[in-house]
A and B are shown apart, each in its own frame.
Chain A
Amino acid sequence: MNPGVWAGVVVLGGVGAVLRFLVDGAVSARLGRSFPYGTLIVNLSGALVLGLLAGLAPGREEALLAGTATVGSYTTFSTWMFETQRLGEDRQVRYLVANLAVSLVAGVATAALGQWIGAQL
C-alpha cells in the first residue's frame, strides 16, 4: 500500500465523518431527538452502500478507500452505543431495545441487499 493510498484514507475518512455529521443533523432536525433516528439512518444507508461495494468485489485499494475509509467512517458504532446507553439511563426501555434490534436486524438485511444488488451490476 503506497503513501498516496494512505493519504486518500485520511482525506476520505474525514469526508465520511463530515457526511455523517451533516446527515445526522438534517435527520434529527426533521424527526426530533426523542429517538436517535439520525444515527439509524446514517448506519442503515452506510450498511447498504458497503454491502453494495462488497458485492462489486473491488480490488484491495478500492475496497480500502471507498469501503473501509469512506463508508466505514460515515457509519458509527460508538454513537449507536452511546445513544442506546443514554436511552437506558432515561428508562426508555422500549426505545433502547428498538434501537438495538432495528439497527442490527435492518443493518444485516440492508448490507445483504446491497451485496445482492452489487453482485447483479
Chain B
Amino acid sequence: MPDRRMIAAVFAGGAVGTLLRAGLSVAFPFPASHWPWPTFVVNVVGAFLLGYFTTRLQERLPLSSYRRPALGTGLCGGLTTFSTMQVEIVRMLEGHYFALALGYAAASLLAGYGAIQVATALVRRVRVGV
C-alpha cells in the first residue's frame, strides 16, 4: 500500500489537472461533427508536460517521493483523458463522420507520441549540473 503523502500528492495534482480540463470542456463545447479541440489540446499539452517532468525526475533530479505522483500521475493524468477521446470517436462514427474519427485518432496518437519524444529530447539535451 503506497503511503498517504503519495496519495495526497496524486489527489492534489489530479484535482488541478481535472479543473483545467473540465473548465476548457465547459467553455468550448463541441458537437460530434467538429474537431474536439479542448480534448485534443489538453491531451497533447499534457503528454508534453508528462514527458518533460518524468524524464527530468528520472534522469536529472535527485529522487523525490512526491514530485512524480503530484506532477505526472496527478496533474498530467488528470489534465489528459483517454475515455472522453474514445466516446468522442464513438459519436463521430455514429454520426458517420468517418474521416473526422480517423483523422482525430491518428492526429492524437501522432501528436501525443511526438510531444513525449520532443519533451524527452529537450530534457536530455541539457547537461547535468547546468
Residues of B within 8 A of A81 (CB): 47, 50-51, 109, 112-113, 115-116
Bound-state CA distance A80–B78 (Å) is 13
Q: How far is the CB of B26 from chain A (nearest CB, A)?
A: 6
Contact present for B18 and A77 (CB under 8 Å) = no
Contact present for A18 and B83 (CB under 8 Å) = no
Given the interface pairs A18-B10, A79-B77, the reply to whether A13 lies near B17 with Cβ below 8 Å is: yes
Interface size on A, residues (CB 8 A): 51
Contact present for B18 and A51 (CB under 8 Å) = no
Q: B89: nearest residue on chain A (CB-CB)?
A: A108
Bound-state CA distance A88–B82 (Å) is 20
Interface size on B, residues (CB 8 A): 53
Given the interface pairs A64-B22, A73-B78, A76-B77, the reply to whether A50 lies near B83 with Cβ below 8 Å is: yes
Contact present for A11 and B83 (CB under 8 Å) = no
Q: A49: nearest residue on chain B (CB-CB)?
A: B83
Interface mask (A92-116 → B, CB under 8 Å = 1, otherwise 0): 0000000010011001101110010
Q: How far is the CB of A73 from chain B (nearest CB, A)?
A: 4
Residues of A within 8 A of B69 (CB): 21
Interface residues of B in 42-57 (CB under 8 A from A): 43, 46-47, 49-51, 54
Q: A9-B22, A17-B15 are in contact. List 7 more A-B contacts (CB 8 A).
A: A12-B18, A50-B84, A76-B82, A77-B46, A78-B80, A82-B50, A107-B83
10 nearest A-B pairs in the assembled complex, by CB-CB distance: A13-B18, A17-B14, A14-B11, A14-B15, A77-B80, A81-B112, A50-B83, A75-B82, A78-B50, A111-B86
- In the complex, 5 of the A-B residue pairs with CB atoms within 8 angstroms, ordered by the A residue number, are A6-B19, A12-B18, A13-B14, A79-B50, A81-B115
